[in-house]
Structures are given as structure tokens and as C-alpha cells.
Amino acid sequence: MHSRPWYQWLALGGGSGLSPILPGTMGTIAAIPLYLLLTLVVQNNMVYTGVLVAIIAVGPWLCGQTAREMQNGGGKRALDPPAIVWDEWAGLLLTLWLVPFGWWTLVVGFLLFRFFDMLKPWPISWLDKHIHGGTGIMLDDIAAAIPALILLRMMLAAGWL
């Protein structure tokens, strides 16, 4: 196995995106320890928000650069290789942003995010097909996190969680 640059290991979720089975789901699972660290150990919404903003801010470059290198420099358009899961990390953290911690909220937030990320209802599917490069890789997952976050908050407000 050849060594990868540090930014590729980030883009690949520490290697979780290299899973031959459901790499996006495995990458999302790999983001849970970071979520738990931020929520249960750091316990500071400003730090959580700062980490989330940083992940989103570096994501287009990180994912785009890694996608181009994974294609061996073939063309300007960086597709969305399944092994790149940095966008899943951003999506899960956004889904759970400022949501009070609970194991059920974590499980339901995870499932809602994966549902929207995998199903890609409109406008997520439009973004996925029409916005390319590192920005496109990030944008559809951020878009999937928004309805997941809204539904999660509605469930909490209704007392279902």
C-alpha cells in the first residue's frame, strides 16, 4: 500500500471511505467519534461551530484535489469518488449542529442524513448532477444535511426524541 498525502487521508475519512461496502455510510460512521468529542468532551457550541465551518471551508479544495489525484490528473472536472467522505463528515456534523446530545438524536440524525444523501431528492439531485469539482462534492451533502437537520429538530420539538 502506498502512502498518501495527509489531505487525502482527511478526504478519505482516515481510510473509512476505502471500505468496499457502503463507503459513504462507513465514512459517516467514522465521523461519529469527532461528533462525540465535540459534543461530550469539548461541550462548547462555538468550538463545534468553528470546527464545522472549517470542515466546510476546506472541503472544496480537499475533496477536489483528492478527486483529481485519484483520477490521475485526467481532466479538470473532479468527479465524486465514493472513497471521498469528508463531505459526509460535514453532512453529519451539520445535521447534528446545535441539537442537544442524545443517543437517539445521534442515531436518528445519522439515519436522516444518510437517507437524504443516498436518495438525493430534488434539489439535492440537481446539485449533484450540475455542480462539479470539490464544491459539488461538498454541496450535495450539505444540502442533504439541511432537511435532515430540520426534520430532526421537528422531531425533538414534537417530543418524539
> Could you tell me the pTM of the whole model?
0.94
Query: What local confidence, expressed as pLDDT, does residue 138 receive?
Result: 97
Q: How many CA atoms lie within 13 Å of 121's alpha carbon, on the beta-carbon side?
A: 9
Residue closest to 96 by CA, chosen among 111, 85, 106: 106
Residue 79's pLDDT is 78
Distance in angstroms (rounded) separating the CA atoms of residues 93 and 113:
10
**To 5 degrees, how large is the angle CA 107–CA 111–CA 113?**
115
Q: 31-88: per-residue pLDDT in tens?
A: 999 999 999 999 999 999 999 999 999 999 999 999 999 886 555 555 789 999 999 9
pLDDT, tens digit, 9 for 90 and up, residues 78-115: 578 999 999 999 999 999 999 999 999 999 999 999 99
